[in-house]
Amino acid sequence: MCTIVCSETGVSGLSMSLNVGPCRPQHAEFGKAGEDVLGAVKYLLCALAVQPVCRMGGDSLEAALVEGLEALPEARRLRYREGAALLLGADEAIRARIFGRHAAVPVERAREMGFDALLAATRAPVLDRKLLGMPRGEATAPDFERLEAVWGPLRAVSEVSFTPALAGSISLFTGGSSGTDPEVPYPGYFRKLELRLLQLKCHDETGSGMGEWGGDDEISISGTAVHSDGTVTKLGRKDYEGLSDGSSRSLNWTFASFAKTKPVSGGIVYDTYGALVVLAEVDSGGLGKVLHKIYERVQDKVKAAIASAVTAGASPYVGPVLGAIAGAVAAWVVDKLIEWAISWFGDDLFPVRHVTLSGPRGFAFYPSDTWISEGTGYRSKDAWLKFSGHGGRYGVRYHWRVSEWMNGSAAQ
Q: What is the DSSP string of 322-387?
A: HHHHHHHHHHHHHHHHHHHHHHHH----PPPEEEEEEEETT-----TTTEEEETTEEEEPPEEEEE
Give the residue from 83, 99, 121 where a domain finishes. Answer: 121
Residues 11 and 63 in one domain: no
Q: What is the mean pLDDT of residues 298-327?
A: 86
Q: Last residue of some domain: 86, 106, 121? A: 121
Give the whole-angstrom CA distance, residue 305 versus residue 151: 15
Q: Is 161 within the bounds of a domain?
A: no
Q: Is the CB of residue 367 less than 8 Å from the CB of residue 4?
A: yes
pLDDT band at 86 (very low <50, low <70, confident <90, very high): very high
Do residue 39 and residue 7 come from a single domain? no
What average pLDDT score do residues 46-75 get?
Answer: 86
pLDDT for position 11: 37
381 inside domain: yes
Q: What is the mean pLDDT of residues 138-145?
A: 77
Q: What does the chain come to in residues?
A: 412
β-strand partners of 273: 357
Q: Other CB atoms closer than 10 Å to residue 4's CB: what's the count? A: 18
Is the pLDDT reported for residue 64 higher than 80?
yes
Any idea which of 9-23, 55-69, 108-122, 149-163 has the lowest mean pLDDT? 9-23
Q: 291-307 and 28-50 are packed helices; what angle lies between their axes, rounded to 10 degrees?
A: 140
Q: What was the pLDDT predicted at 363?
A: 57
More confident residue, 220 or 229: 220
Average pLDDT over residues 301-312: 89
Q: Are residues 282 and 322 in the same domain?
A: yes
User: What's the pLDDT band for 59 if we cut at 50, 70, 90?
Assistant: confident
Higher per-residue confidence, 211 vs 286: 286
d(CA 193, CA 163): 24
How far, CA to CA in Å, does 124 sit from each of 33, 34, 112, 372? 9, 12, 20, 47
Radius of gyration for the chain, computed over Cα atoms and rounded to the nearest angstrom: 23
- 112 and 238 together in one domain: no
* In a domain? residue 150: no
Average pLDDT over residues 278-302: 81
- Whether the per-residue pLDDT at 260 is higher than 60: the answer is yes
In terms of Cα–Cα distance, which of 343, 317, 395 is closest to 87? 343
Local structure of 207: helix, strand or coil: coil
The answer to whether the Cα torsion of 324, 152, 334, 288 is positive or negative is positive
pLDDT band at 8 (very low <50, low <70, confident <90, very high): very low
Q: H or E element: which one contains 256?
A: strand 248-259
Residue 285's pLDDT band, with cuts at 50, 70 and 90, is low
pLDDT at residue number 62: 92
59 compared with 214, residue with greater pLDDT: 59
Looking at the fold, whether 105 and 215 belong to one and the same domain comes out as no
Average pLDDT over residues 249-268: 86
Query: How many CB atoms lie under 10 A from the CB of residue 8?
Result: 12
In a domain, 308, yes or no: yes
In a domain, 135, yes or no: no
pTM of the model: 0.77
- pLDDT confidence of residue 5: 29
Q: Examine the domain organization and report whether 90 and 217 are in the same domain.
A: no
For residue 24, the model assigns a pLDDT of 47
Say if residues 259 and 341 touch (Cβ distance below 8 Å).
no
Number of domains into which the chain is organized: 2
Asked which of 229-238, 285-294, 320-329, 358-367 is least confident by mean pLDDT, the reply is: 358-367
Contacts of 263 (CB under 8 A, 6+ apart): 184, 185, 189, 269, 361, 362, 408
Give the end of a domain, one of 91, 121, 151: 121
Tens-place pLDDT, residues 328-387: 888 889 888 888 888 888 776 788 888 988 877 765 555 556 788 888 888 999 999 999
Which H or E run includes 359? strand 353-360
Note the pLDDT of residue 251. 96
pLDDT tens digits, residue range 69-84?
988 888 888 989 999 9
Q: What is the structure's pLDDT at 214? A: 56
Q: Is residue 109 domain-shared with residue 185, that is, in the same domain?
A: no
Is 334 or 249 the better-scoring residue by pLDDT?
249
Across the chain, mean pLDDT equals: 81
Lowest mean pLDDT among 78-92, 285-299, 375-389: 285-299
285 and 233 in a common domain: yes
214 lies in the same domain as 355 = yes
Q: Which domain holds residue 187?
A: 2-25+181-410
Same domain? For 385 and 240 the reply is: yes
Residue 13 has a pLDDT of 42
Asked if residue 130 belongs to a domain, the reply is no
pLDDT given for residue 159 in this prediction: 45
Output the pLDDT for position 172. Answer: 57
Could you tell me if 103 and 210 lie in one domain?
A: no
Is 297 a member of any domain? yes
Q: What pLDDT, on the 0 to 100 scale, is given for residue 361?
A: 76
| Highest mean pLDDT: which range of 44-53, 141-150, 265-274 | 44-53
Does 23 score more than 50 pLDDT? Answer: no
Q: In terms of DSSP bridges, do strands 2-5 and 180-185 run parallel, antiparallel, or are they unpaired?
A: unpaired
Same domain membership, residue 103 and residue 10: no
- Of residues 165 and 273, the one with the higher pLDDT is 273
Flag whether 365 is in a domain: yes
